[in-house]
Amino acid sequence: MAPIISEADLASIRETLSLFVSGVTGGSKIDEDALTVTNFEELRARVVSELESTSLRDHMDFLNSKNQLNLACHVAADFAYGRGLDYQVLYAMVTIFFFHVEDVLEHNTDVLQNFLLRLARGECLGDPVLNWFARELGPLLRKHFEPLVANMITVACFDFLNGFGIETIMRDVPVSPQAPQFPEWLRFKTGLSPMYAPLTLARHSDVSLVNKTDGSLVKYVQAIPDVIIFTNVVNDVISFYKELAAGEKGNYIDQRADREGVSVVTALRINAEEGIAAYRRVLVILANEPEYRANFEAYARGITHFHTSSRRYRLRDLFGDLE
């Protein structure tokens, strides 16, 4: 049975979400545009065309049946908004990995636990999407990003397998009061924010950067930790209402409230304020790098819009008819 949320708590949640969205998008409101899904049909067609030239061409029905392709394109259309269709295609293909692991590998512990061993031996990885990612998409990243950036993106995806495996075995295990940093560490490993941070900030089309070890990364690398924090907070804050309304427990806001001895609504506000602070720090760090600052600002607007518009997070239920 879904819990009953008081009107006072609902009003507080609306206020916190409104302030957060405004604070990380340059003043945008939660209006009808914020709740409307971005059209990604053109992007989807391009992604399908690209995938049909890879080893996944024989597995397209599977991707479609699990809705992984649509979800990845929805993410890319918003997260990489304004970055050009070619970049969005690359973004969507990397994101397919994330949804595939969440949807398919939860109960396939053999694939998770033996992934790196099989990769090192050059063996089949036990899953067609993992084979494609490691053998085809990983090398493709080197054509678009300088080597260190391509490595960071790839390793973050691989480490997500470990994080997902840890999250699975810890699902019914309470967090020890003597391990206050565990929720932060697990969130870092399971949110793919370490992958999205370099993918978001980097330029992908500057061929002069390929095969260089001292390219543009130095211009924005110090912003990456705060981009990671910001990315995690966006999901924590905007997914909170959906999880609260469903009676879900154990999410980051819940753990934060328990740790600090406050209500979940107060923990939500604290987390939102931290996200706004991280957003502002990134802008300051990149103040003298306008290209990368613009990349981040576009990402901040896009990831926020993805979360407000996704039906998964039920903001239309929370804010009602805004027309």
CATH number of the domain bearing residue 129: 1.10.600.10
Please tell me the total count of domains within the chain.
2
Beta-carbon contacts of 2 under 8 Å, excluding residues fewer than 6 positions away, are 245, 246, 247
68 Cβ partners below 8 Å, 6+ apart? 96, 99, 100, 103
Question: Which residue is associated with the tokens 């239309």?
Answer: 316
178, 109: one domain: yes
The answer to whether 312 and 70 are in contact (CB under 8 A) is: no
Q: How far apart are CA 112 and CA 105, in angstroms?
A: 7
The answer to whether the Cα torsion of 232, 285, 72, 35 is positive or negative is positive
Residue 314 and residue 309: Cα distance in Å, rounded? 9
Specify whether 21 is located in the same domain as 41: no
247 and 179 within one domain = no
Question: Do 23 and 86 lie in a common domain?
Answer: no
Do residues 73 and 56 share a domain? yes
pLDDT in tens, the chain (323 residues): 667 889 999 999 999 999 999 999 999 999 999 999 999 999 999 999 999 999 999 989 888 877 889 999 999 999 999 888 989 999 999 999 888 887 766 677 788 788 888 988 888 888 898 899 989 998 888 888 888 899 999 999 888 888 888 887 887 777 788 888 888 888 888 878 999 999 999 876 544 444 444 458 889 999 999 999 999 999 999 999 999 998 887 788 988 888 888 999 999 999 999 999 999 999 999 999 998 999 999 999 999 999 999 998 999 999 976 55
Q: Of 178, 212, 246, which residue is a domain's last?
A: 212
By residue range, what is the domain housing residue 238?
1-33+220-322
Are 63 and 138 in a shared domain?
yes
Question: Do 176 and 238 have their domain in common?
Answer: no
